[in-house]
Structure 1
């Protein structure tokens, strides 16, 4: 029988992936003292995000689309903080946004596919890991870019 402490030490656990993301966003939030300085600063790492997305499940690649649409670092900053808040405080607001974007026909189709719950669980878990990894990378990149913009070294 596996001990509970062993599962928390697993590098690829969902718990650790969420903690890495939340830590990266908290670090970003503490570093970025003047978020308005991020306005109109273009994202330069779009290639990195698409490279990461190429090796993941297609459902997880939706996370990369957010960063291509943003256009500036401020939008990414706000998005990352919003996702962190959804993880920490619940996803009710996030679910409502998702339902608006996907539409009722997509939700009905997802509800109809409940016959293989284990397969769905592993699909979504894999996608969540991929998205959290990309978001963590994005938060770290944004923090470093902010430091460059204000003239601080790493």
Structure 2
């Protein structure tokens, strides 16, 4: 039986560590935001609300570009982050049993239907699993890192909005 190295948790670049950071940020967000309805109609971008001056740091602006296209306000973004956290904690089976297919399940199902429609087996299915693994691992690292930053941003914005700005980490 394969053993998991205890060093993996200590490496700041490990997948486990990135997952723990997101879960910690999402839990902190959940514990801090006591009244999520206060987030309704609050725009995701502080610049859109006219609260801060634009700066030359494009990384912060890029952080929320994709999210702001999909979520109209901070409340919807809060629900998205909670949903992702729940999917990570409970897996996809819980969602399938309760409310239907998640985005990930729909994507997998769509890919399987596309393969079945073409009739031909994908020659790369088993040929380059290592390459596929590393491609998806890089994507997972990127997504989890962005989600962690977004959960922290949402928490800090909530604290500022309710007057608790002096407690920001």
TM-score bucket (shorter structure): 0.7 to 0.9
Q: Which residue of structure 2 lines up, in the alignment, with residue 97 of structure 1?
A: 102
Using the TM superposition, name which of 99-108 and 140-149 deviates more: 99-108
Give the distance between the partners of 1:83 and 1:13, measured in 2 at CA: 20
Q: Which residue of structure 2 lines up, in the alignment, with residue 127 of structure 1?
A: 139
Query: Match of 1:68, SS?
Result: helix
Give the distance between the partners of 2:108 and 2:46, measured in 1 at CA: 27
Mapping of residues 5-154 of structure 1, within 5 Å: 5-44=6-45, 48=59, 51=62, 65-92=66-93, 93=95, 96-98=101-103, 99-100=105-106, 104=110, 108-109=114-115, 112=122, 113-114=124-125, 115-153=127-165, 154=168
Say which one has the larger Rg.
2
- Over 3 Å counting, the alpha-carbon distance change for 1:15 and 1:45 in structure 2 is farther
Q: Whose RCO is larger (CA < 8 A, sep 6+)? A: 1
Give the distance between the partners of 2:142 and 2:63, measured in 1 at CA: 8
Q: TM-score, normalised by structure 1?
A: 0.78
Structure with more helix by fraction: 1
RMSD after superposition: 2.9
Query: Match of 1:51, SS?
Result: helix
- Checking the alignment, whether the CA contact within 8 Å between 2:63 and 2:150 is kept in structure 1 is no
- Over 3 Å counting, the alpha-carbon distance change for 1:41 and 1:15 in structure 2 is same
Give the distance between the partners of 1:18 and 1:25, measured in 2 at CA: 11
- Over 3 Å counting, the alpha-carbon distance change for 1:49 and 1:105 in structure 2 is farther
Structure 2: gaps spanning 5 or more residues: 48-57, 116-120
Cα displacement (A) at 1:5: 2.2
State the 4+ residue runs in structure 1 displaced beyond 2 angstroms. Answer: 45-53, 64-68, 91-109
Q: TM-score, normalised by structure 2?
A: 0.72
Cα displacement (A) at 1:107: 5.7
